[in-house]
Structure 1
Amino acid sequence: MSTTLNRPASAAPPGTAGGPLDRFFRLRERGTSVPQEMIAGLTTFFAMAYIIAVNPAIMSQAGMDRGDLVIATALAAIFGCVMMGLTANLPLAVAPAMGSNVIFTFTLVKGMGVPWQGALAMVAFTGAIFLVLSLTKLREKVAKDVPEVLKVGISAAVGAYIVFIALRGAGFVVSNSSTFVALGSLREPSVLLTLAAILVTPMLVARRIPGALVISIAVLTLIGAFVPLPNGTMMTKAPGAFFALPHWPSSTFMALDFSYMFANFFVILPILFYFVCAEFFSTLATVIGVTGAANLRRPDGSIPNATAAFATDATATVVGPILGTSVVTAYIESVTGVQAGGKTGLTSITVALAFVLALFVWPVFTVIPAQATAPALVVVGVLMLQGLARIDMTELMNAVPVALTILITVLTNNLINGMAMGTLSYILLHLATGRVREVTGVVWGLGVVFIAYIAVMTRLT
């Protein structure tokens, strides 16, 4: 029998030298090694690297410079991953959040007319709120008092909204005077390519192909160089350079406009609530899921360094808008790194180093077309719908709030409208069935906020 199989449980795995890295990250204690952590970090990076292309593609539609957004996205991820690795020592990668960037662009800026500078200030403000929640017991109270049906409804609505935005941006879904929306012309090569990719990309993910979404984006971008658009140009335009030194995102750095936020505070209050809840609950679910997969939870179910992990996420959400991007959060794709053996913060540090290298090919990310990112966004949106499995949709008390939140969000192109209808229907159904005691103080407060929002918007429109 080999010496590896006979090694005592406390012995270090191959590649663990017992040096400073071992002592700081507790590699020996968690049964891992430097090579294993680096492989895990690279695995996580390739699973989530699509964000370098997708986040700028979405947020640039708010009027922000796409090149600066690429740099800001990478820098926010580098900051979050390094802080997570050094303070929480958990294999959690951190980067700008999918979902929140869509709400930032299409609900706040394009839908409500908020300047992107004011929207960045809102995100930073919610990060500060989340930091307070992370360092106090208020975190547990909020988690307890917001009912699961509303949390799942909001998450699913964002998922459905992401799918719709992706299909619309790729030309797969177009406006129609009779039916409002319709299928794009299948005579257009770019639409056919998007259709094929929407069918193939989930197959890659289902087969657990490493970096499936990145592969999808890369292949479609390359093919796009030979696919014409109706205007005669090619779907993918050649970048000015493939390698370039990273530059500072000067157009977005410190561009926050807090004066706009405070001048319109009550109008934007519902969306502030969304950002706080989205950041809070998505991070909570990710931390629980990743630490469970890594077998890092204590016997009593508690998570080691949980406060540091939440504080990292919140701090990164303050730093992200300062750089020029939206909410920053822990990524569920971190599970791929855990499956590759990641168990410590060295995995997160490795992810950060990979993002540093990506900064030197940033021009490539600025030419990736919407058709190339659409299939990846569809997969991400569908994954956000998975929470519906936890809800008993045969119960009308659950089905109505969830369905209204999803449908109203997509049909009105506005998440706040969906949240308002879902929350108010939840309250009214409980009143009608004599179960008013089940409505928590937090939900009553939300009801008041949404009624005030509807009244204000009715007067403004």
Structure 2
Amino acid sequence: MRARHSAIIQNYRRDDPDDGPAVPGVQDARRTVFRFSVLIKEQLMLESSAQQLGDIDITPTEREETVQTAGGGFLDRYFGISKTGSTEKREIVAGVTTFLAMVYSVFVVPGMLGKAGFDTSAVFVAVCLTTAFGSLLMGVWARLPIAIGCAISLTAFTAFGLVLGKGLTPAIALGAVFLMGVVFTAISVTGVRSWILRNLPTGVAHGTGIGIGLFLLLIASNDVGLIIKNPAPGMPVSLGHITAFPVLMSVAGLAAIFGLERRRVPGGILLVVVGLSAIGLIFDPSVRFHGVFALPALSAPGHASLIGAMDIKGALSMAVLPSVLALVMTAVFDATGTIRAVAGQAGQIDKNGRIVNGGRALTADSLSSIFSACFGGAPAAAYIESSVGVAAGAKTGLAASVVGVLFLVVMFLSPLAALVPSYATAPALMYVGLLMLGNVSKLHFEDTVDTMSGLVCAVYIVLSANIVTGIMLGFSTLVIGRIVAGEWRKLNVGTVAIAVVLAVFYLGGWAI
């Protein structure tokens, strides 16, 4: 209270009559009137503050960003830019920086889904729409500097795990993505997410991330011919043609990404994708220029529209539901970890250690997957590349909103997607996969059972080329290991239930 009194008096000190000329008698009267007015203004401010606190329900888990009522323009007032110590110009520049760091996804995602039978031009538009929707929702509603787009890891799961791996149709795969978004949204809104994060084993959670990273490396390496199926008896895979043009370009591109990221060049991955595409246009006859601009279309001649094409009924089958569970579990841990990391970097963690507007952020993340499924895209997630924008000064949702607007502009450049060869996107996939291997550092090696079950999950995701299989083995070895070690008290109902359900699913022969 004394601090508040001092602040109020300090605010009015510029009007202190003591600063004026000393006039006997009049000076004392002016001083008395001034002090009396200060007391009145102080009381009015205290009453106003108490009234506001009584009318507004502010909880530490969902603290709303207070909209300023005076000073600055509309953007400054809405996003609270000045309050964070940032400026509109800085937020816009940071948003452009984030955009450059993640725009490579408009080439990588269509390339992966195209191999699974999706129309690449339509997927290009769907990726742009999903990223615009998610980033604008995150920026305008959650007011955090975190961009959302189609997740590379979950796209690989959808294309190579569901469609090519399990033989599902693209419509059923989209149905699985839709169900994942619905379940994830329910988890975020009801608070079940907190229970999941407290009770599910961290080893398997981080092991899933490691395994998906290895999976991406295998996919990209096989796609360019660096690693191929072994035609001779022995090991299932072998080294491909190391001197082939696509292999040389991919390895050189990956090394170039290392250097550019080390130098912190904005849009380093995009520069490599564009550079390799330009080299391919010159030296590779299969790379052809098809123009730059085109009106957005979610269908192409000979292809059905992707709008509302998901087969939800097919995704509800026993053969697909475990994959939906795997998508949900991966999304929960990935989204929470990414949002917390970027929010912490931007100073958007409250005094209780919770993400400012964290519930809204996770809901925006999950709703984006529902939106993406409806338009024929891949599962959406918060992009860790948002940290590049935060490093450039982003602190508010204006930066994420800028990303969303820029992806709406990119939507009119769909012919460029056909210009990008696989060896131009492979280095990006490899780099993302290598980054995901960083989850190894999050394993608690002092807990042998938890760590080893996580590594079992990671290794068998790539060895079986099936993410659900790796998760099943991870949960199963964790439960059995805890029991044998006499640590059964560390198990909880959720972990045991998931392990039993997945084991029954495989032992019953329902796995595809």
TM over 0.5, yes or no?
Answer: yes
In structure 2, the partner of 1:348 is: 400
Question: How far did residue 82 of structure 1 move?
Answer: 1.0
Question: How far did residue 17 of structure 1 move?
Answer: 6.9
Match of 1:285 among 337, 343, 347: 337
Q: Distance in 1 between matches of 2:138 and 2:127?
A: 16
Q: Is the 8 A contact 1:269 1:449 kept in 2?
A: no
TM-score, structure 2 normalization? 0.82
Question: Is 2:435 the partner of 1:379?
Answer: no
Match of 1:225 among 281, 300, 310: 281
CA root-mean-square deviation: 1.8
Q: Distance in 2 between matches of 1:344 and 1:389?
A: 30
Cα deviations by residue, 1:234-266 (Å, 9 ceiling, x for unpaired): 3xx22321122222446211101112122x2x2
Unaligned runs of 5+ in 1: 1-7, 9-15
Cα deviations by residue, 1:265-288 (Å, 9 ceiling, x for unpaired): x22222111111111111111111
In structure 2, the partner of 1:251 is: 305
In structure 2, the partner of 1:158 is: 212
Question: Is 2:486 the partner of 1:439?
Answer: no
In structure 2, the partner of 1:193 is: 249
Deviates more, 1:105-114 or 1:192-201: 192-201
Q: Is the 8 A contact 2:106 2:127 kept in 1?
A: yes
Aligned length: 438
Give runs of aligned pairs for residues 4-23 of structure 1, distance below 5 A.
18-23=72-77
In structure 2, the partner of 1:242 is: 292
In structure 1, the partner of 2:134 is: 80
Give runs of aligned pairs for residues 61-210 of structure 1, distance below 5 A.
61-176=115-230, 177-178=232-233, 179-210=235-266
Question: Is 2:376 the partner of 1:324?
Answer: yes
Q: Distance in 1 between matches of 2:246 and 2:192?
A: 49
Distance 1:244-1:396 versus aligned 2 partners, 3 A rule: same
Q: Distance in 1 between matches of 2:354 and 2:473?
A: 35
Q: Is the 8 A contact 2:342 2:390 kept in 1?
A: yes
SS of residue in 2 equivalent to 1:366: helix
Q: Is the 8 A contact 1:290 1:338 kept in 2?
A: yes
Q: Distance in 1 between matches of 2:508 and 2:422?
A: 35
Cα deviations by residue, 1:286-332 (Å, 9 ceiling, x for unpaired): 11111111112112212211111111111111111001112111111
SS of residue in 2 equivalent to 1:285: helix
Which has more radius of gyration?
Answer: 2
Question: How far did residue 200 of structure 1 move?
Answer: 2.6
Q: Is the 8 A contact 2:175 2:310 kept in 1?
A: yes
Question: How far did residue 394 of structure 1 move?
Answer: 6.8
Q: Distance in 2 between matches of 1:460 and 1:129?
A: 22
Q: Is the 8 A contact 2:201 2:450 kept in 1?
A: no
SS of residue in 2 equivalent to 1:302: coil
Q: Is the 8 A contact 1:81 1:351 kept in 2?
A: yes
Deviates more, 1:337-346 or 1:396-405: 396-405
Distance 1:417-1:346 versus aligned 2 partners, 3 A rule: same
SS of residue in 2 equivalent to 1:87: helix
Unaligned runs of 5+ in 2: 1-10, 12-69
Question: How far did residue 143 of structure 1 move?
Answer: 0.8
Q: Is the 8 A contact 2:208 2:471 kept in 1?
A: yes
Deviates more, 1:295-304 or 1:67-76: 295-304
Cα deviations by residue, 1:369-426 (Å, 9 ceiling, x for unpaired): 1111111111101111111112244754144312321221112211111111111111
In structure 2, the partner of 1:416 is: 468
Q: Distance in 1 between matches of 2:511 and 2:436?
A: 33
Distance 1:24-1:196 versus aligned 2 partners, 3 A rule: same
Question: How far did residue 147 of structure 1 move?
Answer: 1.3
Q: Distance in 2 between matches of 1:112 and 1:142?
A: 27
Q: Distance in 1 between matches of 2:203 and 2:315?
A: 30
Cα deviations by residue, 1:339-380 (Å, 9 ceiling, x for unpaired): 111111111110011111211211102231111111111110
Question: Is 2:357 the partner of 1:305?
Answer: yes
Cα deviations by residue, 1:184-209 (Å, 9 ceiling, x for unpaired): 11232222222222223222222222
